[in-house]
Chain A
């Protein structure tokens, strides 16, 4: 019996963080230790799962032995595997960061919620049916809302409340779509639906509802209004989680449905999504440029980067999908580093006013280096994951002949450059430190840098990662 190939790692990925959540809740004094142990073991499980999938190909696992349509199916292909991997990597980094960030009083609330969120994320990525996706989406949303409220300030509570309502509304729309599809075809299994769904009014209604609900959760322009407040008022590690993973999870569902369930995608709808994406890039970029607070700037940058993800819809080519998926991964890593860096700056100086950053920035060279490296990836400059994504996306755009998206892409890159360097420029000015700073724990600074370096390293891992994406051909058959 081979330990790696015969263990049901998919189940471990759901159960481990779930047990972790319970353990952190029960033994709240040891929450930090328990959380870290869980984080590392989830990462190890993901590595094991990767080896397993590389050896055996895509994986379908019927929980408890009940197959579809009765039981719950879990499914792993390149797409879900990469989401799991990036979640685990970001998850471990955030866990290490959080272990120093939170005071004990907050930590005992934070760790169970975060572990619970992780469990929800992992099950979401593994779900093989649209109802299960709904359940996990809802669980994820609830955990995320609770995490936003964690800091307890009035603005955080208001933002959390708004986030809760939006989140519920989004899930509700999605659920109605699920109901329509189930009514029409008698199944919620993605693979079964993929074979049966045909164009019909009911299906289009379902698509409309599901897409609207998901767009609300993804915060695509003009439905992004809730995101900056929610992402910026949360504690730094939570902001990172929301921007890097939670928003992406909703996009992952949309991508799955679009590629598998929805019948030959409607041209008008795909163009509409592309157009909204383009508006998000420009609007988000301009808003980011005008922010006076660092965390708000980063949050608007997320609004903008989400826009890029939607440029692949009108292109409808394998290389386009791969490009935005690569962008999704790179953005997750880079944005994590960036929010962590903002967290360090806030921790040190007690504020994140950009105009006063020069007093802080020079004392935190490691943090600022991390911010810069993450910025390089966001701008799409080489060498970084962002560059690879931008290159592929540009290639897809030119191949499709829809050159106007290229203008948006380039304009977005320059806007990003403008707001990233607006921050970095402060690192080089000479200013006095007027107040007593609070020393940032070494651990927080170094983990920030590590994640940022990873964002750069993604620029050199393209052959491997793109090959992983092909597993199970989620984007359709590649010609080779």
Chain B
């Protein structure tokens, strides 16, 4: 019992305990709730920073608690986990600030922030999970914690979206469960191990392993919104903006993508997966998702729905990078986990600002909005260019490595997917930017409210500006030590046999 044992647990508990206290807090105690929210988020960041430093200096952090005979609840800080933990902790703070501003004076805030905290707890648990059963545990907890956030508004549409979400995710969770138990009966262990733990298994089990692979990836693919399992995501847009931001950038979608990374690298092992012949089909599914969702995004007039399809497309970059067998593609895929998160959260914050301040929900209403809300639209522009993959932004780095990786692995066709996706991204983002900056304003907005002295309240403005700056810095300073890219190189070096 020491720091190495307690730190991972504390990182999970910091938001859990805050959430539980917030649940029982009376609605009118706004100050206490804000204090708790921000305090817990800051505490988590400090703890994560300590752990990051520790992992970098070679310390092993691991929490083990008995769960079942032969199986333990394991929280372990390996390099891959740290990438996701740091992302969640950082973006949680910003989203919390944003959500406090966004939900000012709206009802049921205790309930909202309670589940919000649970959601982050589950995400961090997913990140730190040291074996598949722990992962599964937090993965399902995530489903349960996000459902109340999606139906928070309580309208008929919200309940319908919540129902769709549950049908998809519970079914996905069930597949994941079967795959996990099956795997356990074959191997007797579920411990994540760099380069996987299955390659030593007798080759007569290989057909079973392929089925297990399909079960696990399908189960995870629901949350990662792989085509054709993405149906819930655009519907879930009825949720309040901070929830969408969190769902798309950090929590749900990323948990799925992160799970795919874990399964391929630390359960099957990338080289063993390739020898099973399962990576190419996955790369094809990811590519289809990328193109299909981009095409769908073109035709959405609802801004949040357009962003949602964009998420479906962009998250599949991660899967694609993972499924192309090669170190450079792996770097591109994994680093996109962070890059996409930072860029997409910027876009959703901005969309929320437009809706909250001016009542703008549709792309067609955005004409000339750049002059009314310059800071918001500047951040939006950076996010959009990042998504398109323009240098020197974060998105460019991901695409560059994905492209190089594809060539390195001899999968030249991927270049066409990337190029096509870039064009489509440009096609659905540039008209928005053009209209916002150069379009004529009609002078009146659907539902304008004056909040704050600036273009909107500071709590709503500062988070997207920070994330936009981050998106630039992640691209410019990509090779600085501790940057996600450098960290990803470290992860990748562990996953391939030298």
User: Which residues of A come within 8 Å of B, CB atoms?
Assistant: 365, 369, 376, 379, 381-383, 387-388, 390-392, 394-395, 398-399, 406, 410, 413-414, 417, 421, 425, 428-430, 460, 462-463, 466
Contacts and interface: CB of A to CB of B under 8 A. Distances in A.
22 contacts: A369-B23, A383-B141, A390-B177, A391-B133, A392-B68, A394-B178, A394-B181, A395-B181, A395-B184, A398-B185, A399-B185, A413-B170, A414-B170, A417-B170, A421-B162, A421-B166, A425-B159, A428-B152, A428-B154, A428-B162, A460-B65, A463-B69
B166 A417 contact: yes
- Chain B interface: which size bin? 20 to 34
The 4 closest A-B pairs by CB, nearest first: A382-B137, A394-B181, A410-B174, A428-B154
B300 to A, nearest CB: 26
A391 B68 contact: yes
Contact of B68 (A421, A428, A462): A462
Contact of A381 (B111, B158, B171, B173): B173
Given A398-B181, A410-B178, A430-B154, A425 B141 contact: no
Interface string B124-146: 00000000010011001101100
B67 interface: yes
Contacts of A425: 151, 159, 162-163
B148 interface: yes
Given A365-B111, A394-B177, A463-B66, 17 more contacts: A369-B23, A382-B137, A383-B141, A388-B68, A390-B177, A391-B68, A391-B177, A395-B185, A398-B182, A410-B174, A413-B174, A414-B170, A414-B174, A417-B170, A421-B147, A462-B66, A462-B68
B159 to A, nearest CB: 5
The main secondary structure of chain A at its interface with chain B is: helix
Nearest to A397: B181
A376 B152 CA distance: 19
Interface string B30-57: 0000000000000000000000000000
A418 B222 CA distance: 18
Nearest to A480: B69
A421 B68 CA distance: 28
A395 B158 CA distance: 37
B67 A462 contact: yes
B159 A429 contact: yes
A322 to B, nearest CB: 10
A384 to B, nearest CB: 10
Given A382-B137, A382-B141, A421-B163, A414 B171 contact: yes
Interface of B: 23, 65-69, 111, 133, 136-137, 140-141, 143-144, 147-148, 151-152, 154, 158-159, 162-163, 166, 170-171, 173-174, 177-178, 181-182, 184-185
B422 to A, nearest CB: 40
Contacts of B147: 421
B6 to A, nearest CB: 18
Contact of B136 (A382, A399, A466): A382
Contacts, number: 73
A53 to B, nearest CB: 20
B111 to A, nearest CB: 8
Contact of B144 (A365, A376, A414): A376
In this complex, the member of B137, B154, B184 whose beta carbon has the largest number of chain A beta carbons within 10 angstroms is B154
Contacts of B185: 395, 398-399
A463 B137 CA distance: 17
A406 B178 contact: yes
Nearest to B151: A428
A135 B496 CA distance: 68
B14 to A, nearest CB: 18
A37 to B, nearest CB: 31
Nearest to B174: A410
A344 to B, nearest CB: 18
Contacts of A428: 148, 151-152, 154, 158-159, 162
A429 B154 contact: yes
Contacts of B23: 369
A410 B152 CA distance: 28
Nearest to A478: B69
A425 B147 CA distance: 10
Contacts of B148: 428
A439 B65 CA distance: 42
A215 to B, nearest CB: 29
A407 to B, nearest CB: 9
A249 B88 CA distance: 48
A365 B111 CA distance: 10
B69 A466 contact: yes
A391 B178 CA distance: 9
Contacts of A414: 170-171, 174
Contacts of A430: 154
Nearest to A376: B144
A405 to B, nearest CB: 12
A462 B66 CA distance: 8
Nearest to A392: B68
A319 to B, nearest CB: 10
A369 B152 CA distance: 15
Nearest to B147: A421
Nearest to B133: A391
A253 to B, nearest CB: 27
A379 B174 CA distance: 11
Given A395-B181, A398-B182, A428-B152, A383 B68 contact: no
A440 to B, nearest CB: 17
Contacts of B166: 417, 421
Nearest to A407: B178
Contacts of B178: 394, 406, 410
Contacts of A399: 185
B21 to A, nearest CB: 14
A291 to B, nearest CB: 18
Contacts of B159: 425, 428-429
A460 B67 contact: yes
In this complex, the member of B147, B163, B173 whose beta carbon has the largest number of chain A beta carbons within 10 angstroms is B173
A52 to B, nearest CB: 24
Nearest to A372: B144
A399 B181 CA distance: 10
Contacts of B111: 365
Contacts of A388: 68
A381 B174 CA distance: 9
A390 B136 CA distance: 13
Nearest to B182: A398
A398 B65 CA distance: 26
A48 to B, nearest CB: 26
In this complex, the member of B143, B166, B177 whose beta carbon has the largest number of chain A beta carbons within 10 angstroms is B177
A383 B137 contact: yes
Nearest to A462: B68
A249 B23 CA distance: 38
Nearest to A369: B23
A412 to B, nearest CB: 10
Nearest to B162: A425
Contacts of B67: 460, 462-463
Contacts of B158: 428
Contacts of A406: 178
Contacts of A395: 181, 184-185
A311 B67 CA distance: 23
Contacts of B69: 462-463, 466
A466 B67 CA distance: 11
A121 to B, nearest CB: 29
A382 B68 CA distance: 13
A27 B68 CA distance: 47
B38 to A, nearest CB: 24
Nearest to A390: B177
Contacts of A365: 111
A388 B67 CA distance: 9
A460 B152 CA distance: 30
Contacts of B137: 382-383, 387
Contacts of A462: 66-69
A55 to B, nearest CB: 22
A414 B169 CA distance: 10
